Structure 1
Amino acid sequence: MAVQNISESVYVGMCLKIGTPQQVASRRDIVDSREMLINNEMLNKPITGMLSGSRREGFRLSGSDTDYMYWPNNHRVIWDFSQCQFYITQEHALILCDSSESPPGFTLLWLPLERTSHGVMSACVRMNGGFYISSSKYREVTCSLVMPGSSPHGPCGSGSYGNVEYDTAHCFVSDFWPPSASSWIGRCHSWPPPHVVNDIIRNGCHFVAIGHKLGNHTDNEWRISFSQAEYKLVCSMNHTQFLTYGLLKLFLKEIINKGLRDEDKLLCSYHMKTTVFWAIQQNALPRWCPQNLMDGFWVCFKLLLKWVYEGVCPNFFIPENNMFLSNIYGEAQKALFTRLYRLYENGLALLLHSPSISSYITNVLCNPRLTICTDEHTLISEVEVDEDIFGEIYEKNAIGNIDLHTCEIYLHRVEQLLGLPLTQYHIVMLQKLTATILQCTAFILHSMYTYTGSNKQLYIVDKVACRLVKLSAKFGFVSNMLYTALYYYKTFRYRDALSVIDIIKVKLAQPYLMYRSHVDRERYIEAVGGQSLSTKMRQAVAQDIKLDNEIFYINELIPEQQSSEQNNEPALYIPPHVLLYMLELLCSRHVDTMRAQRALDDLQVLVHHDQGQSVPVELIDVELRDISWEILGICQQITGNLQAALYSYHQSLRQYPHNKIQTATRQRIQDLHL
């Protein structure tokens, strides 16, 4: 009974740490919605990109990298020449696998026709009388292709984007399931279910640019990657199985690898995932449920211990591929086994060393009769779930390089997707993406036709753009109305802009408004509790304003956008109240100078964080103080208070450079000194 109580308590802790079934499902669906939109065949993109790894699976653990995979759309890998019949060779460069000299799970990639892109050709080497794509050369060619400034890290280009570390793996894709993994199909009797197996096989596999350390062609070999298949397997887990996987990840990070240098960490998260896959498929536990979470963990730990003892970790898809072969052997293997066995001897008490889990175990040990509820709706409130969902939507609301034709294709794609069976998370994400597309279209249209010289044409375009930007405000967050005010200011409709600003002020002042994690929970539930995510987003949620750096919105912020873009940032992010007061000041200068002064005063109070004023302190986020001080300085400079502006610009330089606008700030300071 004690172990069952501990299992239930740890299950609760893991739900709070990793997410409830609803939270995990929403994260996956939100990512899927965006990728269904941007990976659109009608766009004829040269490469396809996909979020992979733990974030794709639904984890949001602090310190985890964000992993991406990219592959060229005009190349396909085949396993034998009979598969050529499925392709038009004028459209696809075909690459043939040659696994004859490679360890299981690895292969050479041969270009039989020597016809490919310049980038791929520059990574080729001549071997055995033919051209082969060298994995090491390909890594060099592609390392900084998507993210400039990346450095090599295994098969990936690695770096940081803001405060998030990323890994980008450039690979090739095959539409066919590897013959070397055919035995996996025959093993799938109980798990995963047949429809998942068929879906996995139908989607083939990838090849990432890294060779086997002990292979004959280490610099030229490629590893077969089952990343898409693994994602589908993780999605087919029940929540207890998923949390067991999460518990193993924490066990690895907080206990096994704690205090070790990177080069001394022999076990990785992929080994943990593999143990869960094998444990589920082998029916090592008759029933995976909250009451036996610890049994599931223990089954996986014992399997891992057995593998380390034997020095064999069989890849889930190609068991002949021993994933311990290159680094867990000899003295290192013995030392690792000894370390793990000592942990094993401690029993479940070993988890008391995990800061994420220990309190949930001690709670039960100190209160043996404690009754624990594992119902997800009791564990976490509706407000907390909504915070998570809307934060995900905001983070994933990016549509990449845009032009008018792309926006048109995106809207057509949204229309197609709405005809599919979708979850509520798919729908609300597509709704927000639609708002973004409409808003971008409006500003792109205006910039395209402003200088044509045709008043009639400009009038028609302006009318369309105006309708689009107003329509976008009906789909997005409450704060999306600020784009309408931006458009009115840009087109000299100052009174119209101020009318919209008055409406936004009322909406942003509602006591139930959710802005990031700032919300009065009781009032939020009173106002929109139980309503659809779509309704909540439109009526009760605000987020920071994103100004895409490919579009110039207003002249006053062009230097900041240019500076941000030069530093590889895709957009400026501005707190809604900061932009609101800026626009109020800019518009009021033309119609009501007293109101302009009040707007400047309100902005000053907000940025300086004066306590006890009408604007709550928490409405401005620490991360965005660089742009907030900058905007205050711009407004002060516009109104002639140059000394105050100088102070604000210097303050902007002292903040965390979230928007990377320092170049613009320094130029503004220099201009003030002239």
Structure 2
Amino acid sequence: MSESVFVGLCHIVGTSQQVASIRDAMGITDILTNQVNHSYPRMISGSRGEGFRLDGSDIDIMYWENNKRVIWDLSQIQYYNRNIYTLILCDSSESPPGFSLLQLLITRVRSIRTSLCTIEVTNSISTALFERNNSLFISSSLCRETQRPLFPPGFIPHGPCVSGISSGLEREFAFCFASDFWPPSAASWIDRCHSWPQPNVVCDIIRSGCHFVAIGHKLSNFEDHEWRISFSRAEQILVHSMNHTQFLTYGLLKLILKEVISNGLEEEDKLLCSYHMKTAVFWVIQRNNIPQWCPENLLLCVWNCFKLILKWVYEDVSPNFFIPQNNMFLSRIHGDKQNQLFIRLHALYEKGLISLLHGPSIWPYVLIVLYNPRLSICTDEDNLLFQYVFDSDLFSCTNCKTLIGIETLFHCMKCLRAVEQLMNTPLTPYHVVILQKHTTFIFHEIAFILSNIYINTCRNKMVYIAVRISDRILKLTGKFGCTSDMVYMAMYYYKTMRFVDALLVTEMTKVVQLYKANLLLSTDMYTEAFRGLSLTSKMRIFTNRNIFLNNNVRYINELLPEQQCSRQERQGLMDIPTLVLLYMLEILCYRHVDATKVQTALFFLQQLVQHPQRIFLPERQEDISWQILGICYQVTGNPQSALYAYQQSLSKVPFSKIEKASLLRIQSILQ
């Protein structure tokens, strides 16, 4: 049965190849994004950073100020230039294990007002300070309040994070402070690392230091001011060091928690979280009680982890993996809630392992074995996944949704320099594809930024040079980008009034889109068509379903109100279906080239947007798709149909945050 569940988890969670590709994508995205936002570096943590492709996985992002560092004792001051770094001293003398107060280091303090004149403090700290024992400390609760205005109105506080939808994705952001040193309170963890993890992994973890997130211990006298020590970077390194059976054990525990343990419970009664599951896996691996972590022992591994969690609930003690003195149940699971949780878990324990597998995701793979006890299951990962599924996942996770800080040519140059540096390091095939995709995106931005700088100038020579450079850049992207990336070239040709060239590009892109759709009718056809091709060659033929427009960059005037509205709502990108944008460009170009073909293109766009099965139109893109249909109706002289389309856009879930643009366009029609 373990083998069957292993196969099922490879389909749900991902094979080792899929997991590696996601991790590579997240890692390179972090590197490039930090080149743009050097003052506020960030790290993708949580499920996506660990490599999961579970449905509903959000993106957890930790970010911190690069010119501030936390130190553990005053002797560490010598490692920093005080003209560059603001130093913060960790004071854990009166805090529970795993928590600390953070003291802002200055020479002396007369009052908060006068002290702020002696040091350079950014707004994130200046309004979050409180005075204690003639020293300045940074309050975690006040710091959370200062960060909230940085996010769109729909974002809500959630522990140390703020969460909401940004650029079409569920995201959680956590502001923190970084420390380059390993916490003294976690020194015992180093001594425990005999069998796992390997010495090189231990060294990487120690070098990574830790972070402090803005949340205090609920039972502490300083709850509103304390900061929790976060080992997110260390945990990510540990998860990446797991073999695939260990990783799938963690994934299965997450599914069991969601679909079995917490099934039917109210939100306030869901006491266990995926962090407890991860911690249990860490402890079980390190104790080395399981002879071999392999597909045949998968369920044995899960059962051992479950028994450890049951023991923790019974004893009301869940030791943090790095600081065991930090009992993670102390303020969360106790009294009646603890008893109820133990009864629930013990009932599952008495029914045996099979009771943990009753979730809708895994149960079908259990039934296969129950109905066919002699069935032989192949766990060879090469045979577990259709090639198209793997390719599609890889190319989808290489999208550039996170490179939304690009606004200037300077940002583009910094990103290209980072790409150049990465190209001189050992790269996997996944790294190469991901770098190609990001480079294509950066080149697109360069072309349009150049155009926006010089298009309205009276200096014809500068315009000519900018156009020549942009042309060459866009043609270069056509040699190593996805076919759908040529939509940017079509937009540029339309922007520079080369309508025939734009139509040629849109027609070619549509042909490839339909060719790929036919290949997907049969996995055998896809495999045969792409047999022997490298990932780079496949990516050129691959067509993204979506085009991402950076709201910091002006592409075509017809979409400018929507971009401005989306940007005002602090959305970095507009996510538009490729075919919708292609038909829009055709309609706009045919108005100048061949007016008789406008209605045909408009008919196809209307059928695409109004199709009841939404084959090429996910729900989260309905608002922008109806909006574009309305724009096309309006420019072709059909205000009544345009009015209806804008109203439909307003009635859809506002993922694109363009409601104000819809209202403005409706008002312009009614006037």
TM-score with structure 1 setting the length: 0.93
SS in 1 for 2:150: coil
Matched-pair contact (CA < 8 Å) for 1:624–1:658: yes
* Pairing partner for 1:48 from 18, 31, 41: 41
* Pairing partner for 2:61 from 53, 58, 68: 68
Question: Within 5 Å, which residues of 2 pair with 1:641-660?
Answer: 641-660=638-657
Matched-pair contact (CA < 8 Å) for 1:434–1:475: no
Q: Which residue of 2 aligns with 1:321?
A: 326
Question: Within 5 Å, which residues of 2 pair with 1:121-520?
Answer: 121-161=126-166, 164-394=169-399, 396=401, 398-511=403-516, 520=522
1:573 partnered with 2:566: no
Output the CA distance in 2 between the equivalents of 1:403 and 1:579.
24
Measured after TM superposition, the shift of residue 79 of structure 1 is 0.6
Matched-pair contact (CA < 8 Å) for 2:433–2:535: yes
Output the CA distance in 2 between the equivalents of 1:156 and 1:667.
34
Measured after TM superposition, the shift of residue 204 of structure 1 is 0.4
Runs of 4+ in structure 1 over 4 Å off? 146-149, 511-514
Q: Which residue of 1 aligns with 2:25?
A: 30
Q: Which residue of 2 aligns with 1:540?
A: 542
1:9 partnered with 2:14: no
Matched-pair contact (CA < 8 Å) for 2:99–2:227: yes
Output the CA distance in 2 between the equivalents of 1:244 and 1:591.
60
SS in 2 for 1:255: helix
Stretches of structure 2 that go unaligned for 5 or more consecutive residues are: 107-114
SS in 2 for 1:626: helix
Matched-pair contact (CA < 8 Å) for 1:125–1:132: yes
SS in 2 for 1:47: coil
TM-aligned CA distance change 1:225 to 1:623, over 3 Å = closer
Output the CA distance in 2 between the equivalents of 1:346 and 1:406.
58
Deviating more after overlay: 388-397 vs 70-79: 388-397
CA shift digits 1:463-521 (9 cap, x unpaired): 1111112222323211111111111111111222223233323323324578xxx6653
Measured after TM superposition, the shift of residue 247 of structure 1 is 1.2
Measured after TM superposition, the shift of residue 386 of structure 1 is 1.2
Measured after TM superposition, the shift of residue 197 of structure 1 is 0.4
TM-aligned CA distance change 1:427 to 1:396, over 3 Å = farther
Measured after TM superposition, the shift of residue 34 of structure 1 is 0.8
TM-aligned CA distance change 1:44 to 1:33, over 3 Å = closer
Measured after TM superposition, the shift of residue 163 of structure 1 is 6.2
CA shift digits 1:268-322 (9 cap, x unpaired): 1111111100100010201000001111011111111222222211111111111
Matched-pair contact (CA < 8 Å) for 1:70–1:170: yes
How much is the aligned-residue C-alpha RMSD, in angstroms?
2.1
Output the CA distance in 1 between the equivalents of 2:155 and 2:634.
38
TM-aligned CA distance change 1:578 to 1:339, over 3 Å = closer
TM-aligned CA distance change 1:464 to 1:427, over 3 Å = same
* Pairing partner for 2:52 from 48, 59, 64: 59
Q: Which residue of 2 aligns with 1:626?
A: 623
Q: Which residue of 1 aligns with 2:111?
A: none
Output the CA distance in 2 between the equivalents of 1:654 and 1:522.
41
Matched-pair contact (CA < 8 Å) for 1:175–1:203: yes
Measured after TM superposition, the shift of residue 548 of structure 1 is 1.6
TM-aligned CA distance change 1:158 to 1:653, over 3 Å = closer
TM-aligned CA distance change 1:397 to 1:318, over 3 Å = closer
Stretches of structure 1 that go unaligned for 5 or more consecutive residues are: 1-5, 612-616
Deviating more after overlay: 580-589 vs 487-496: 580-589
Output the CA distance in 2 between the equivalents of 1:648 and 1:571.
22
Measured after TM superposition, the shift of residue 220 of structure 1 is 1.3
Matched-pair contact (CA < 8 Å) for 2:100–2:228: yes
Measured after TM superposition, the shift of residue 434 of structure 1 is 0.4
SS in 2 for 1:169: strand
Output the CA distance in 2 between the equivalents of 1:317 and 1:667.
55
Matched-pair contact (CA < 8 Å) for 1:34–1:430: no
Q: Which residue of 2 aligns with 1:557?
A: 559
Deviating more after overlay: 161-170 vs 562-571: 161-170
Matched-pair contact (CA < 8 Å) for 1:394–1:543: no
Residue type at the aligned position of 1:99: S
SS in 2 for 1:510: helix
Measured after TM superposition, the shift of residue 201 of structure 1 is 0.3
CA shift digits 1:504-541 (9 cap, x unpaired): 23323324578xxx665333222223422211111233
Output the CA distance in 2 between the equivalents of 1:365 and 1:565.
54
Q: Which residue of 2 aligns with 1:614?
A: none
* Pairing partner for 2:101 from 92, 97, 108: 108
TM-aligned CA distance change 1:324 to 1:649, over 3 Å = closer
Measured after TM superposition, the shift of residue 194 of structure 1 is 0.8
Measured after TM superposition, the shift of residue 102 of structure 1 is 1.2
TM-aligned CA distance change 1:456 to 1:18, over 3 Å = same
CA shift digits 1:203-262 (9 cap, x unpaired): 100011111122232221111110000000000111111111111111211222222222
Measured after TM superposition, the shift of residue 545 of structure 1 is 1.6
Residue type at the aligned position of 2:476: L
TM-aligned CA distance change 1:68 to 1:480, over 3 Å = same
TM-aligned CA distance change 1:180 to 1:610, over 3 Å = closer
TM-aligned CA distance change 1:266 to 1:506, over 3 Å = closer
Output the CA distance in 2 between the equivalents of 1:124 and 1:261.
37
SS in 2 for 1:218: coil
CA shift digits 1:421-450 (9 cap, x unpaired): 111111111101100100110100011112
Q: Which residue of 2 aligns with 1:583?
A: 585
Matched-pair contact (CA < 8 Å) for 1:105–1:321: yes
